[in-house]
Amino acid sequence: MASSAILAGLGLAAVGFAGRYMLKAAPAATAAFNEAMKSLPKADSFANSRYYKGGFESKMSKREASLILGIAQSANSKKIKDAHKKIITLNHPDRGGSPYLAAKINQAKDLLENQK
C-alpha cells in the first residue's frame, strides 16, 4: 500500500518536472518556429510559376485551356488525353473533387481536341 503511494508521488513529480521543462522551452521553440516561417517563400515568388493563377474567363480560350491542362497550346491529342486523365483523376467529384473544376477540365480538353 505504501509503495503504491510512493510510486504515485514519484509519477506526479515527474509530470510536474516535465511540464516545467516544456513551459521553459516553449519561448525558444516559438522563436525558432517564427524564424523558420520567415524563410518560407512568399506568394509573390510564385509569379513565374508554371501553374495557372487566376479566375476563369467567361468564354474559355485556347490559352486558358492549355493552362488548365498544363500543356502547350500546340500539344498533340495524346498529350491532351494524358494530361486530362492525370488532372481529372485528382479532381473528380466522385473522389471529393469539385464538380465545377471537373467541368472546366473537361471543357478545356474538348476545346483543345476540337481545334485539332
Q: Which amino acid is at 82?
A: D
The torsion angles phi and psi of 64, rounded to 5 degrees, stand at -65, -40
pLDDT band at 3 (very low <50, low <70, confident <90, very high): confident
As given in the structure block, the three cell numbers for residue 28 are: 525558444
What SS3 class is residue 107?
helix
Q: Which residue has the higher pLDDT, 67 or 23?
A: 67
Cβ count within 10 A of residue 13: 10
CB contact at 8 A, 80 and 109? yes
pLDDT of residue 106: 94
Maximum average pLDDT range among 1-5, 6-10, 20-24: 6-10
Predicted TM-score (pTM) of the model is 0.54
User: Residue for cell digits 494530361?
Assistant: 83
| Lowest-confidence segment of 27-31, 68-72, 112-116 by average pLDDT | 27-31
Q: Which amino acid is at 85?
A: K
As given in the structure block, the three cell numbers for residue 6 are: 510512493
What gap in Å lies between CA 81 and CA 84, rounded to an integer?
5
What gap in Å lies between CA 29 and CA 6, rounded to an integer?
34
Question: Which H helix or E strand runs over 60?
Answer: none
